[in-house]
Structures are given as C-alpha cells and as structure tokens.
C-alpha cells in the first residue's frame, strides 16, 4: 500500500475498508415486518368497526393498542431484538415511537423519577416531536394562506 498523506485520502481509504450494512437484507426485513405491523393495525381496526365502534374511535384504539404492545415488548427486552432485525420496519410505525420513549425511561430510572425518567424520557423522541409539530404548524400556515375561501372562522 502507498502512503497516506491527507485526511481526505485517509477517509477515502477507510471507506473502502469499512463494510456496508447488508442493505438488501435489511430492506427486505423492514418491508415485511413493517407490513406485518400495519396489517395487525388494520385487523384491530376492522375488528373495532365490526363491533360497532365508529371510524375515529377505531383509529384511536389501533394507536393505543400498538403503543401498548410496543411498550410492553420493550419492557420485556424483546422489542430491541425485533428492532435489530427489522430496522425501519418496526421503527417507522407508531411502535418505534413508543419504544423510543419507553427505552430511555427504563434506562434512566436509576437517576430517579424527576431527573432520570422525567427529564430523559424524550431524549430520543424529542427531536421527532419538535420537528414534527413545527412542520405541521408551518404546513397549517401555508394551508391557511392559500385556502382562504374554504376557511371557516370559528
């Protein structure tokens, strides 16, 4: 091997030495596990409708059950294994969001309920909330500006 003389050269060389994640395998697993989670949600939804619950409430029940399931599996040390296998497949649905709140809550319990659980609970989910809510406000503003004729003032 010839000598490396600059940071850029070294970075390039390191990139050739660093193995990539198995993207095709990861995508495939993410696809079917993510699909499965969505299918479970749909089954719960259809079941609720069958029992005569209206659509809005059925959606709420779906979210609640999936959040509960994910939080429960996180507590049982199972969700991290699913997440390791499925990656974005279990992370992107609402299950990933629940996991991202429960896992720091568990981790920081040793620092107490205020400075530990309370303060650290949103370390992972915090950015998602901040930018999720901020962007929805921004899009809401754009909607108000460009759709004045449909706006109903309360």
Task: Name the residues that contact another protein, by CB under 8 A.
Answer: 1-4, 7, 10-11, 13-14, 17-21, 26, 74-75, 77, 79-84, 86-87, 90-91, 96, 99-100, 102-104, 106-108, 110, 124
Q: What is the DSSP letter of 151?
A: -
| CB-nearer residue toward another protein: 7 or 50 | 7
Is residue 15 within a helix (H) or strand (E), and if so which, with residue range? helix 7-17
Output the CA angle 90-134-107, nearest 5 degrees.
45
List the end-to-end C-alpha distance of the chain, in Å, as a whole number: 73
Closer CB to another protein, residue 58 or residue 83? Answer: 83
* Nearer to another protein among residue 41 and residue 104 (C-beta): 104
Shortest distance, CB of residue 84 to another protein, whole angstroms?
6
DSSP label of 52: T
Residue 58: CB minimum distance to another protein, A = 26
Nearest approach in angstroms of CB 39 to another protein is 19
Minimum separation from the CB atom of position 72 to another protein (A):
12
In eight-state DSSP terms, residue 90 is H
Distance CA 46, CA 26 (A): 30
Choice between 24 and 153, CB closer to another protein: 24
Instruction: Report, in this order, helix, strand and coil percent for the chain, each rounded to 5.
Output: 80, 0, 20
To the nearest whole angstrom, how small is the minimum distance from the Cβ of residue 65 to another protein?
A: 18
How many residues can be counted in the chain? 154
For another protein, the closer of residues 14 and 43 by Cβ is 14
């Amino acid at each position: 091997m010839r000598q490396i003389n600059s940071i850029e050269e070294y970075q390039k060389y390191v990139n050739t030495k660093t193995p990539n994640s198995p993207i095709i395998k990861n995508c495939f697993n993410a696809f079917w596990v993510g699909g499965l989670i969505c299918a479970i949600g749909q089954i719960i939804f259809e079941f609720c409708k069958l029992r005569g619950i209206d659509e809005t409430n059925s959606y709420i029940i779906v979210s609640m059950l999936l959040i509960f399931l994910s939080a429960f599996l996180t507590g049982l040390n199972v969700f991290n294994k699913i997440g390791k296998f499925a990656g974005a497949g279990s992370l992107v649905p609402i299950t990933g969001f629940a996991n991202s709140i429960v896992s720091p809550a568990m981790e920081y319990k040793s620092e107490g309920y205020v400075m530990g659980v309370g303060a650290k609970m949103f370390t992972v989910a915090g950015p998602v909330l901040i930018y999720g809510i901020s962007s929805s406000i921004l899009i809401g503003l754009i909607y108000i500006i460009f759709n004045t004729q449909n706006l109903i003032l309360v």
